[in-house]
Structures are given as C-alpha cells and as structure tokens.
Amino acid sequence: MLNREFIFSNPEVLKWIDNKFIFVAGDDWYRRRAQDDASVWFKSIARKARRGKNGSTQQGCYAVTPKGELLRFINTSDPKKFTVTMLEALKLWDGVVQDKKVTIPEMKNFDYKVNVPPIDPSKDVLIKVQSRALTEKDGKLERWNSNGKAGGKPAVGHLWIKQAEWQSIVQNFKTMEVGETTPLTKRLIHRIAKFHLIDNTRGEGPAWESKDLKHAKVTLTRVKNGFAIRGMFLLTNQKKSLSHSTELSGEITINQSTARPVSWTMIAYGKHRGEGKYTRNARPGAQPLGFTFEFLPASKIRPIDLVPPQHMRWQRGYWEAEKH
C-alpha cells in the first residue's frame, strides 16, 4: 500500500476518528465507470467536490451526509490536514438539523458489467493473498527495508475460486488414493500465475499474459485429509523487462463431512525482476519476493475481505484465465 493508509494508522487520527463516521472504502476505477445506483449517487457527490469531470479521477476522502450532501473533501497523505478537514466536516454535521435522517431506497440498478458480482463465501472459496519484498542479507532472508519509500509494506489481494472449481478438487480427493498426484486445473494455474503472482508491493502491478507463462506447473498430491500442493512458475513478459521465477508449496485440508475446505495455505517464494507502468522504482535486478495464500472461512470474513481480486476488472479474463 502506498502512503494514504498512514492517515488511518496515525495515532493522533485514531484518537478522534473512532465511531465518528461510518467508513466505506471503494475502488474509483470501477466507481467512475459504473452506472449502478451507488456509483451514480457517489458521482453526484464527487461533482460537488469538483472531482470526476469527464470521467477523470474521483480519488480522495469525502465526508458526506447519508442524504448525499458533501460536508468536506480532501485528497491528502498529511494526517494534520486530514484531521483539520474532517473535524470541520463533523462540525458541519452537528449543525445539520433537517434531513439528518432520510429514507434510503433499496438499490434497483446494478452494473455487473463494470462492478463485480459478489462472491458467496459460504459456497465459493476466498483466499487472502499477501505479498512482500524480501531481501537476502548475510546469508539470511529478511524483510526488505524501503527506508520509508513505497514497497516496504505487505500488499493484500484476494484469490477467488468458484464453488464448481472447488468441487472438482473435492472430487479428486474422493477418487484418488493417498500418494497419488494430479495436476491442478489449467484454469486455476493460470489464474494464480497471471493475476496473483505479480509484484504489487509498490501499487498495481501488471498482470501476466498467457504467453508470458514460460513454465507453470502445479500438482496436488493426495494426503490423508487433503492434498499437498507443489508448483513452479517461470514468468517472463514479451519485452523481457519483467520476470518472475517462483516456487509454490502448501496444503489443502478438506472437511470430509461438509466437503468444504478446513484450510488452504500456500507460500510462493522466488525472485522478481522489473517494474510496471504504475509500479516504478523497483529494486535493480532480480530480487526476492514472497507470497502467502490463506483460506478465509465464511465465519471470519469481514466486509473488506470481500473486495474483488485486483485484476477482476476484466471478469472473463479472470474467471477463464486459461483462455485469454
């Protein structure tokens, strides 16, 4: 994550902000393109802050009444400026007499061509993906210290697996003997490689294309309660300006009575080289990059865990990763 999160990590901000607002975070890439009721409503607010003209960016922090009146807007990474602006917004809110409570209608118009239909965590499989730049020092592996620059923090994403895709894994479990090995489906291998084994530690890293997958192999070996997973990836773009060589390993444990995952944990570790249009200032050469994958059971999922995978912006490309 880049620097704006630090506003919400700042101890001075956290002292006053708690419970003062209802907080909601969104991806403006979707918002400014979508025509659903929520996006249209938000765009009307952004216009009041002089944001989003002719489809331009609406990024920033908006203090808004439930009716849709803009109280204050700011786009800053400075906690002091943020605090001053939002405390002004709260004063204005205290002064609101009429329309403090309004009737909020149900959403009628959705836009799933742009916005992503939500996943069902009781049926589908949601895996949290974290990544971090690492470094080798004196023969040991450690976290890379960016000295305050972008790239030193962990990045977060979500891998989505549909119920039917999960069921094919369960079916393998039922029919295979302990010790037997089978490949993971090409669809899931491509989804993991193209959209999750990317360097997003300095922002939105570019997805890999199918032709970039020089080697991509993942196998499932049946063990008593699930599978051991092993995989290798070699990813290189056409210009040879980006490459990623990484090894994947982990395990899946299956609840045999519910046929749901108990756990799905994997790590990927290897070396990544290069940078994307929005991820400048990569370290020179091939550098260690690590990933963790962890299944989130429905009972532990928070609203923010349901944020779609970053590269879901092209939905068919994500769901049918092996075809495109």
Partner 1 sequence: MRFFTFILSSLSLITSSALVSAKKDLTETERKTIWSLVNADKSETIWKDKINWHADIWEARKIANREGKPLLIWEMDGHPMGCT
Q: Contact region for partner 1 (CB under 8 A) — 161-169, 184-192, 291-299, 316-324? A: 291-299
Count of residues binding partner 1 (CB under 8 A)? Answer: 99
Question: What torsion, rounded to 10 degrees, do the Cα atoms 249, 252, 319, 42 define?
Answer: -100
Please identify which residue in 79, 84, 146, 154 interacts with partner 1, judged by CB under 8 A.
Answer: 154
Nearer to partner 1, 269 or 319 (CB): 269
CB of 247 to partner 1, least distance (A): 6
Of residues 197 through 256, those in contact with partner 1 by CB under 8 A are 200-204, 230, 232, 245, 247, 249-251, 253
Residue 286 · residue 243 · CB < 8 Å: yes
- By DSSP bridging, strand 243-255 and strand 226-236 are antiparallel
Residue 210 is encoded by which pair of tokens? 């199918």
CB of 25 to partner 1, least distance (A): 5
Of residues 176 through 195, those in contact with partner 1 by CB under 8 A are none
Nearer to partner 1, 170 or 250 (CB): 250
Name 127's Cβ contacts closer than 8 Å, sequence gap at least 6.
158, 159, 160, 161, 264, 293, 294, 295, 296
Of residues 303 through 322, those in contact with partner 1 by CB under 8 A are 303-304, 306-310
Q: Contact region for partner 1 (CB under 8 A) — 12-20, 173-181, 188-196, 316-324? A: 12-20
Q: Contact region for partner 1 (CB under 8 A) — 154-162, 176-184, 187-195, 314-322? A: 154-162
Nearer to partner 1, 16 or 323 (CB): 16
Of residues 99 through 128, those in contact with partner 1 by CB under 8 A are 100-102, 104, 107
Answer yes or no whether residue 157 interacts with partner 1 by CB under 8 A: yes
Q: Give the CA diameter of the chain.
A: 70
CB of 177 to partner 1, least distance (A): 21
Residue 212 · residue 235 · CB < 8 Å: yes
Please identify which residue in 119, 125, 155, 254 interacts with partner 1, judged by CB under 8 A.
Answer: 155
How far, in Å, CA of 294 to CA of 195, rounded?
Answer: 16
How far, in Å, CA of 266 to CA of 232, rounded?
Answer: 13
The helix or strand, by DSSP H or E, that contains position 119, with its residue range, turns out to be none
Alpha helices in 176-307 (DSSP H): 186-196
Nearer to partner 1, 71 or 188 (CB): 71
| Per-residue buried b or exposed e for 211-248, using 16+ beta carbons within 10 Å of the residue's own CB | ebbeebebbbbbeeebbebbbbbbbbbeeeebbbbbeb
Residue 162 · residue 191 · CB < 8 Å: no
Q: Contact region for partner 1 (CB under 8 A) — 5-13, 164-172, 180-188, 189-197? A: 5-13
Of residues 49 through 78, those in contact with partner 1 by CB under 8 A are 57-66, 71
Single out the residue of 250, 257, 254 nearest to residue 229, CA to CA: 250
Answer yes or no whether residue 81 interacts with partner 1 by CB under 8 A: no
Answer yes or no whether residue 271 interacts with partner 1 by CB under 8 A: yes
